[in-house]
Structure 1
């Protein structure tokens, strides 16, 4: 059978390459993971009549969701407006503009909370100015889970009947929940290990900070309604240097060039696989390493050897400490500061 001919580039880039790293560790390596979320969300909203062909959608993004949404809008004939984080680089911005998206970018800031609050404020201003524009709300609308069903089907077919541990960055919560919920519904034995940076409110590390942190999109300074805390079995908090060490190690050992959240997941999966050798560990690699070249990969000589790194085991959030901590979450509820009350009911009914 010949290679498939795709009708749009989004179909070609959405599916991952599955790469075996060790006998019990695989990598799902994406060019941009959130194409699944954006395509699934836009398609579902069009089918519901929530948005109409030719309409305008808007959202805030720190990078890969912006490109994914622009691709989905290009495919389905929609106009796209992105309120971009300060972390969106020139390469990403140029692609967005050529794809037809309008881009509002926030001024430089070292304060994650300030950057996110500015973006939300700007989205609200635009919605007030342009009635009829649909806010995609990737952080809160569970419609973003829909596209990951296809990814779950791919994983189930590739790893039939295996005891599986999924290791991935939490971020908005949609990619891990969208994968794990369908797999568990089919009766599969699936553990979920989440990755967080220090300084993120999502799993209670906001009392700490990482001065070098540039791991865009894996944590948050504000509560995200799409995060399903009770799905997670274990959490790892990893700082910039350790995430970079993981990404450099992945490239050195397996020739895979991926972003810092993948590096953090690779590091955590190595530790998990050593402690649970009977399980298959699936590392989620949401993007490539290109946007981290100057700020991370160029410093590879000063990074520690990933193989020598070990986490600090903790049992309370108060005991978290950089550079790397791990804690059994065991399906606990969200920390008080991470609860997003207006969407709690919606999330309980999420697909």
Structure 2
């Protein structure tokens, strides 16, 4: 197949068998699927027009995905970038035609996210013709994953399936599982979170190393549909790093930090449910984690020696790794707040 644009080639994930009951859904950059489908739908609806500026904030892979989608469909792109966006990513964004501004450095995820949202609002007031993509709140970002779900269903007909992935904005895990359950309601969803994320109640736990950008949040995301999740895992940075290093060492897969966290969680889930096939979402490659993760591979823990604390409520969770059955419950009212 000859693709009309590089984004159409990059979006397609590979299915890689790790063990008999563990498969990796490996993306080059996962949110390309989401951004392409979102921009295309918005253009079709007339919500945005060619040449218009699309704006959003991002901690990394969504910025790259949106810049690619804008390049593909002839719209402009402005990114309010997190402190976690590295020089390599920023250079690519700028060459693709995006304008980029980065918030002041902060080790605090809540402050970083609130600064970015505040800046987006300021820019929209200055440029009312710009369109805010709202990747965390507009469910148009879930559409792209329906095609991926159909591919998964075709690849594993009749298998009892569990999807394991970082929660983040909720679009990827939610979009996949919502589509899969339309034909098979027994599909399980295991969400992975960092400590410090408000989404499933770990905001009172501080990871001294760093919160894992991209799979957690300090603000409420409307695209997270809590009732889709069966089980939650919370992991600290060291455990996620150990999962990433183990994935490269054991399976030669060079993937990002959220994939390492998902791999560790899925390995545990597979031990508990050996009758099911576990599909781990690999959101991106490991290139932007070289210094913080892979250069420190000697510090990685042995995954075989790790196991989570099993808790029954968020209040019982403990670092460095906890797991809890969620049982497709709704979001508790006390966790809700106006959308950012």
Task: State the TM-score bracket (shorter-chain normalisation).
Answer: over 0.9
State the match for 1:348 in structure 2.
none
**Is the CA contact (8 Å cut-off) linking 2:266 and 2:280 kept in structure 1?**
yes
Between the aligned partners of 1:21 and 1:337, the Cα distance in structure 2 is 40
State the match for 1:208 in structure 2.
205
Which of 12, 17, 33 is the aligned partner of 1:15? 12
Aligned: 1:239 with 2:236: yes
Q: Which shifted more, 182-191 or 16-25?
A: 182-191
Q: Which shifted more, 148-157 or 278-287?
A: 148-157
State the match for 2:21 in structure 1.
24
State the match for 2:177 in structure 1.
180
Q: CA deviation at 1:335?
A: 3.5
Within a 5 Å distance, the mapping from 1:1-351 to structure 2 comes to 4-340=1-337
Q: CA deviation at 1:109?
A: 0.2
Between the aligned partners of 1:231 and 1:341, the Cα distance in structure 2 is 21
Q: CA deviation at 1:211?
A: 1.4
Q: CA deviation at 1:336?
A: 3.8
Q: Map Cα deviations across residues 182-208 of structure 1 (whole Å, 9 max, x no partner).
A: 110123520000000000000000010
Q: Map Cα deviations across residues 154-184 of structure 1 (whole Å, 9 max, x no partner).
A: 1111111211000000000000011001110
Q: CA deviation at 1:337?
A: 4.5
Question: Gapped runs of 5+ residues in structure 1?
Answer: 344-351
Between the aligned partners of 1:30 and 1:340, the Cα distance in structure 2 is 32
The number of residue pairs the alignment matches comes to 340
**Is the CA contact (8 Å cut-off) linking 1:224 and 1:340 kept in structure 2?**
no
Q: CA deviation at 1:228?
A: 0.3
Between the aligned partners of 1:264 and 1:336, the Cα distance in structure 2 is 28
Q: Which shifted more, 89-98 or 182-191?
A: 182-191
**Is the CA contact (8 Å cut-off) linking 1:169 and 1:218 kept in structure 2?**
yes
Q: CA deviation at 1:340?
A: 4.1
**Is the CA contact (8 Å cut-off) linking 2:221 and 2:339 kept in structure 1?**
no
Between the aligned partners of 2:334 and 2:169, the Cα distance in structure 1 is 16
Distance 1:50 1:62, change over 3 A: same
Between the aligned partners of 1:274 and 1:319, the Cα distance in structure 2 is 23
**Is the CA contact (8 Å cut-off) linking 1:106 and 1:118 kept in structure 2?**
yes
Between the aligned partners of 2:334 and 2:69, the Cα distance in structure 1 is 33
Distance 1:340 1:178, change over 3 A: farther
Using the size of structure 2 for normalisation, the TM-score is: 0.98
Q: Secondary structure at the match of 1:5?
A: coil
Question: Gapped runs of 5+ residues in structure 2?
Answer: none
Q: CA deviation at 1:107?
A: 1.1
CA RMSD after TM alignment: 1.1
Between the aligned partners of 1:8 and 1:188, the Cα distance in structure 2 is 35
Between the aligned partners of 2:334 and 2:86, the Cα distance in structure 1 is 31
